[in-house]
Each structure stands twice: as C-alpha cells, then as structure tokens.
Structure 1
C-alpha cells in the first residue's frame, strides 16, 4: 500500500472498526433481549396470563436487529451478490465495476436515508399500543442503518479508487 493511500485510509478504516465495535455488541445484546422477551412471552402464555407488552417489544427489537445486523453484513460483504462476471474481469475493469456497483448502492442508501427520515417523521405522531412509545424511535433505525452502510460504501469506494481492496476482501472468511 502506498504511503498516501495508507494515510488516507487509516482514519476511514478506523471509523469502520469503531462503528463495528459499537454495533456488534448492541446487536448481540438486542438478540439476547429478544430471546428473553420471547421466552417470557411463551412462559407467561403457557403458565400464567400473557404479558401484553412482550409481543410489541419483540417486534421492535427484531426491527432494530435486522437493520443494525445488515450494517455488519454490508461491511463484511456478506449480503447476497452475484459476482462471477465481476470476478472474471481483469484488474482495472474489475475495480471499476466494483466502484460502479458501490456507487449504485450508495445512491440507494442515500435515498433510503431520506425516505427513512421522512417515514420516521410521518410516524412521529403515532404511539405504540402497549408501551405508548413514539414510533419515531422504532423507525429511526432505518435512516441510521442506511447512513452507516452509506459510510461503509463510501470508504470502500475510496479504497478501490486508491487501488486497495475493500475491507471485507482483506479479512479472512469466518
């Protein structure tokens, strides 16, 4: 890696790792909470009277887990992709095709940030049935996750433009 590319990419890659270091434990904790809430829901329905808020909390946790885990998958290149044509291309055309794909994804993600924010605003007057929680908080994860994925796409575009592979190409497959 050239010194210039290294100096440009180091803070960008650090920001990706920092976001991952925050998001991964949040997703893990939310999954543990989801398991606990669903267990409480099942046990209370079988042995006692159903606890009303458990279904709503489980639904909201699932929404947040889905979007936040999608950011982790996006950074690691784990979303479904058909890459056999791009992988068959030689060096520069392959890099340009990846940049084009990332630019398309970036455009979609920026649109999703805007649409998600508008949807969040439209739902801001609605309260959840059991918890009376503003639905703004439930749907805030949509623009948040899209913005994080857009950042990851932007970092990958910069890396590819500098001749470096995206971060998921450098990490060993788990």
Structure 2
C-alpha cells in the first residue's frame, strides 16, 4: 500500500467517525425533542435547529464520503458497454467534471457564502451561532471531493487491468 492509499484510507476512516458521530448526535437530539415534548410537556426550540444543522452537515459530508468510495448514484448502463480503454477515458472525464463542480459550486460558491454570512454577522435563530460556521461544511466537503477526484484519476489505470 503506497502513501496516497494510506492517506486516502485514513481520511475515509476519519470521515466515517465524523459521520457516525453526527448521526448519533442527531438521533439523540430528536429523541430528546420527542421526550421533552411528550413526557415533559415542554418543547426546546434549539433541538429543531440543531437537528437541521446536523442533517445539513451529515448530508454534505456524506456526499464527499460516497464520492471517495465511488458509491454515489450513477447510471452506468452505457459505461458498462464501453471498452476498457474508453471506460478509462470516461472515468477521467467524469472525475474532471466532478472536480470542476466541487471547485466552482462547493469551494468557490460555498466560500463566498461563508464569507458573506460571517461578514454580515448572520446568526442562527435559536442557537445564536454564526451561520458561516454551519455553511463552512460546503467548501470543506468540496475540497475533500476535489482531493478524492485527484486520487481517483491517479488510480484510473487500475480499472480492469
């Protein structure tokens, strides 16, 4: 196993731990919300906002994780019909498009969103945390996706060899 594979696997393991932790916190938050509403007879407003932010982080980080594992949704009917050489070319093209999407939409667009919300001082309604911190997951996940695309392109010759 070479150095890039070790880094790739370590990064995926860390992502798994983070995603499991976020999911566990989300479950505990929702259970607490249900318990407080139906057993205690009171509702804490922060639980809904925390659940929403947790779901956002889990979804965007999960997309990066699935991209790393190459388990994202894809339609491979035509891809399977291609020769091995054309599959490699198609894989490179797909990874370039994924890289560009992550760069333009997630990193550049997400960074602009984070900067704008932090600069304007926008706070979440209940938790009163800067929304830029919530949105920071977008450029971070975009950078991860870009790194994973580079990794996949560098390993493209391993397809059906």
Name the counterpart of 1:118.
Answer: 112
Q: CA RMSD in A?
A: 1.4
Name the counterpart of 1:144.
Answer: 140
Superposed counterparts of 1:34-73, under 5 Å: 34-47=26-39, 48-73=41-66
Q: TM-score, normalised by structure 2?
A: 0.92
> Which of 2, 11, 24 is residue 19 of structure 1 equivalent to?
11
Superposed displacement of residue 21, structure 1: 1.4
Superposed displacement of residue 135, structure 1: 0.7
Structure 1 unmatched ranges of 5 or more: 1-5, 170-174
Q: Tell me which stretches of 4 or more aligned residues in structure 1 moved more than 3 Å.
A: none
Q: TM-score, normalised by structure 1?
A: 0.85
Q: What is the aligned residue count?
A: 156
Name the counterpart of 2:68.
Answer: 75
Aligned equivalents of 1:38, 1:73: Cα separation in 2:
25
Aligned equivalents of 1:19, 1:67: Cα separation in 2:
16
Structure 2 unmatched ranges of 5 or more: none
Deviations 1:36-60 (A, max 9, x none): 1011111111122101210111111
